[in-house]
Structures are given as structure tokens and as C-alpha cells.
Structure 1
Amino acid sequence: MFLALVVTPELRQFLARARGGAVRLIKVCIQDEQLVLGAYREPEQSWDQDYDHFLLPLLDERAPCYLLYRLDSQNALGYEWIFISWSPEDSPVKQKMLYAATRATVKKEFGGGHVKYELFGTAEEDVCLLGYQRHVSSCSGPAPLTPAEQELQRIKITEVRGQRVKTEISVESKHQTLQGLAFPLQETARQALQQLAQKRVNYIQLRLDVEKETIELVHCNPTETRDLPSRVPKDTPRYHFFLYKHSHEGDYLESVGMKLICVSAVDSLSECFIPAARLEIDDGDELTEQFLYDEVHPKQHAHKQAFAKPRGPAGKRGHNWRRTRVLLEVCLSSRFTFRPSDASMMFATETLVIYLTNLILM
């Protein structure tokens, strides 16, 4: 255990005077279990010009010490200082331990509010002007990261870069196309889709005008499930969106379904969203009530659990609207020829589906 070192009255008085700005550099040493004034220097030029000229000659390669160096900057308490602990490698271990244990005492005696930076050095390059500047630079930079934190940072950077290359499309988007692609949504079509999202209409039929490179509204007449087969043309491609109203296990549900009669565009759609169900039929007559119900709520054939899961607390089993807003994609084969190489049709399909996915599932 180290003895409590005493600050000599002379040193205490000198420190009080030095805080006023009359001194540039103070050297404090330990002698006979006392903290004493080793040396001091008064300012001659600016702090950076005086730094190496004053400080380096006071460093003893075999004896530790404390150094207080005054900067030209000030805070609310007065001038700001650098507190330097000098502990060379060749100094005795006992002295190193003694100076390390007394460091907080010296800082408290001088006044910690005046100290802007603290340095610790075992060689001149640690405490010289260049070493001080490196220390300040490291303090202003980010803290060092562990390998796990570095890996997490790389993942986040990769995700941000990936998001930058995507085009955001939503109800409020001013541009209704992907960057570099044609087929913008016609204003009437965009308004109809907004009405569908608000459940003000229950059916929309869209078409592609390849010559004008636009997606246009055909009609949004009220439609029941039994009317769907008659809505599907036999000789031309269409996009159909239908609000499927039905009951399931005692709950009333409204599921948004999409019917696309372009079988060749399935791969393009797969990149935009994951549908709740995917199938191919030969005729719109297959769009019956039972057919849609089975696709939205497929029968489960998995083995039952050995024990029943406990039910949630009362009030927590309310209707989950987000879960029941199922997006159903029905691909209808029709009597028309679709060329997979037709890039314009593929681009329009991708543009439309991305827009509608954000609109309906928001």
C-alpha cells in the first residue's frame, strides 16, 4: 500500500498562479514522499511553437514525472491544459507504480476542469507535438470495434448500398415506373388502385398499351365472385384485381387477389413478391367460390401436435387484418401468343406488380 503523498505549500501556490496563464509548462516530481515543483517555463510564442522546445528537454529517460502544458484556448474556468504522465521504460518499477497511483491526486490538486487532454508516454514520440496531434485525432475518431462489431458494420454497409439501387414505389410516388423502364401508370389506373386499397371498389381490370407504353384502366365495375369468369377475355391479356369477401372460421375476411393471364411473366412476378398461392388453369370458368377459398385457405395435412397449444389471453385474439390481406396470384393460360422475349411486356409487369404490392400491403 502506498503512502498518501503530500503536496508542498510552494507547489500548491504555484499551481494557483499558473492557472491564471502566466506559465506555459509545469513539471511535477515526487521527492521524499512529497509532490514538488520540478521546473516550469513561461510562454514565449504560440503553444505549438513552444511545445517541443519547452517539453522535450525536461524529459528524463530514467525518471517519471508529471507535465502540465498550457494551451492558448480557454473554457469557462480559464486556460485549457494538457496533463502528461511521463513513465519511461527504463525507470524503476517502484517509481512507475508510485507515479501511477498518484496521478489522480495531481490532477485533482490542479483542477480537472482545466485539463482538456490527457497523455501517457514511455518514449518521446508519444508525448511530442506530433504524438499529441495523433492523440487528438484518435479522440475525435470513432472508437475501435471488435471483430464482431466490424462484421456487423460491413453487413449494414452492404444493406445500405443495396437499398440505394432500388427504386421506391408507393402511393405517394411522383414517378410510377422503375428507373429506366417504360409503362407508367395512367392517372385513371392509379386512382382506381388507390380506391381498391381503400376498399372503395372491389374489382379492377387493366391492360397494356404496347404502342403508347402505358398501363391503362379498362374498368372497375362492381364484381361478385360468380362474375369473375365473364370478366376474363379469351383472346387478350389483362390484369385483374379482386377483393375477395368471404368468411373463414367465423371471421369475415377481405382478401386482395391478383389474376394475371400472362403465364410467361411468372418469373418476373416472383422477383417482386411471394404470392400466397400459385396455379395455372385453362379457363376463367374455373374461378369459382370454392376454388378461390381453397387457394386462400388451403387445407392442412400436417400431423396434429401431441398436445394443444394454450390459447392467448382474452382480448389478444382479435382479427388480424394484415394476415388476412392475402395477395393471390392466379395465372390464366389463354388463347393468345405471348413472346417471352418481349421485354416491354415483362418490364410493364414488373413495374405494375411492385407498385401494387406496396399499395395493397402497406
Structure 2
Amino acid sequence: MSHQTGITANEKLLRVFGKSKEGKLRLIKISIENEELTCTGMQEVKKDWEKDYDKFIAPLIEENTPCYILYRLDEKTSLGHAWLLLSYVPETATIRQKMLYASTKATLKLEFGSSHIKEELHATTKDETTLQGYYRNKKNFAAPAPLTSREEELNEIKKTEVNTDISTDTRHQTLGGINFPLTEAASNAIKDATHGLHDYLQFKIDLQNEIIELVKAKKLALSDLQKEIPKDQARYHIFSFKHTHEGDYLESFVFIYSMPGYSCSVKERMMYSSCKQPFLKVIEDYGMEIAKRLEIDDGDELTEEFLMEELHPKKILHRPQFAKPKGPPNRGPKRLTRPQQAE
């Protein structure tokens, strides 16, 4: 985790953040002034995001002065509009300014809501803050990353699955897992949950586009957890179970894979099963420690007693000794045998 400065948003900026979720604001300029994050500029939506981009951003960029700009895109996610976070820190800025803006960005994202930020752009020149600079940056990062040997292997498997005949003679094959990418909102929600911003996350697989999407991210009491489990669709869930055990207060992340019986299609069942392990690996790579992994078919199972038993199973300290059965009655005295003496 990066070092943070303790600089937080002032009341005015927090009110602007709240207003931004209504969808009318196109842009918010944020600066660090008097050891706090403050709003130093706003613009409402006029046209589409590309036409508004240079018209709104260019006048706000000062040659030698760092700032953050939150820019609302027209794309929508399950949580609302997607936003771009532009960090402008010119080379002419002082070392203190560079360090201050770099280490405060994480706080800004948390207070605005990381799950709403779809893209990030870091600029050091005014040219990089233009729409052309934005597209240049996207092009530079669009080149595919080199595949691992496992990813290459999975690609080959996918190719061989096309037009495959299945019969009674077909041999059963199993895959180690299919690694679908996460949307930006899903990745950010996991990171936010590790910082305590969410108690509950729900994810679904977009089977057509082969990605994992965020469905819900919120604070949630254990008593309401059962209501969040769909009765007719498969889902992945992460729940922060707050409890005490042997006098210690614990906050344990529980991963729940819910599959409601056979009401789901065979394809859906196969994909959720195959994607589970790679998805768990991604979660752990983001720094979230999963204390328990559960598979359920009904949300009614998720009671406090059930979770406590799964996380802290009772230990049997003393096993009863096996009692030797009594011999049959009236079997007569034991026969004594004399040891043979060597001649």
C-alpha cells in the first residue's frame, strides 16, 4: 500500500462528489490547498464527452501548477456513469508537489469512489491533457501483453473446442480454470473493500463478452446477506464477516459461490465453475485475504451459526477410547501354554 499524506477532501468537495453522481456534471477540478483537497473548478454536461473534452479541460490546465481532474464519460456501468481521473503534474513542479500529488491520489480515489473511475491518465505536459493525448495514451497501452504459458495453453484449448464432436467414446477432460478479465469497476471495488469501504461485493460473468462484472458494492449487515443471493442466477460474492472468536474481534473475508440448483443453463454452470479459481487468484493478488471459500445453492444457508462453524470448526480435544467388547459368557478359563524348552 502506498504511503498517504493524511490530506482529505473538504466539505465543499464532498458535496460536489455527491452532486456528481446525479449525472449532470461533466468535470471536477481538484487542487491541494491549505493541506486539503478542494474543488477549484466545475463544468456541467453540454455535448457528448469528446466534444466537451478539450473545450472544458484546456482552460483549467495551468502550465506549472499540478491538479487532478475528474472527467465524466458517457459510458455507464452498473454503478452509474464511468469517470476518467486525469492527474496533471508538470515536470516544472517542485519535488514536494510531485510527492504530495502522487501520495494523495489514493485518498482522492477512495473518497470519490474507486469503483466509479474507469480510466486513469497521468500527464506531465499540457499536450498530454488534450483529447489527442488521451487517445495516444490509450494506443500505447493497447498493445497486448505477452501471454504466459498457461494463457497460451488455454487459447489452444479454446481453439480445439470449436466443432468438437461429443459421443459416448469421448474422454472426459477437465480444465484448471478459465481466466476472464475483470472490468475496471470490479477491480476497483475489490481494492476498496480491502480498505473497508464495502462489506459486500457481488459479481457476475458476462457470458457473451467473457468478462467478470461488478453487480453490487455496499455496506451490508449479516442479517441482510441472505436477501442478496439470487434464486435463479449464479453469482460470486465477497462478504466481510465481522465477529468475535475466543475474545478476539475479527473481520474475515468470505468468498461465496452461489449456484441455485439446476435452474441455470449448463453453459452458465460450467463457466462459473471454471472461472472460480482464476478469479480467486486475482482477488488475492489485489491483497485481499480470503479466510473461507463456500459453495451454496440457497442463501438461507448463510446464518451466523453456519459462518462461525465454517470459519472456526469445533475441535475435539479428547476422543473416547474404544471399549474392548466383553467375551462370550461361560467360555471357561483361559488355557495356559507352557513355553517349550530347548533340548
- TM-score, scaled relative to structure 2: 0.41
TM-score by length of 1: 0.39
Q: Which has the higher contact order (CA 8 A, sep 6+)?
A: 1
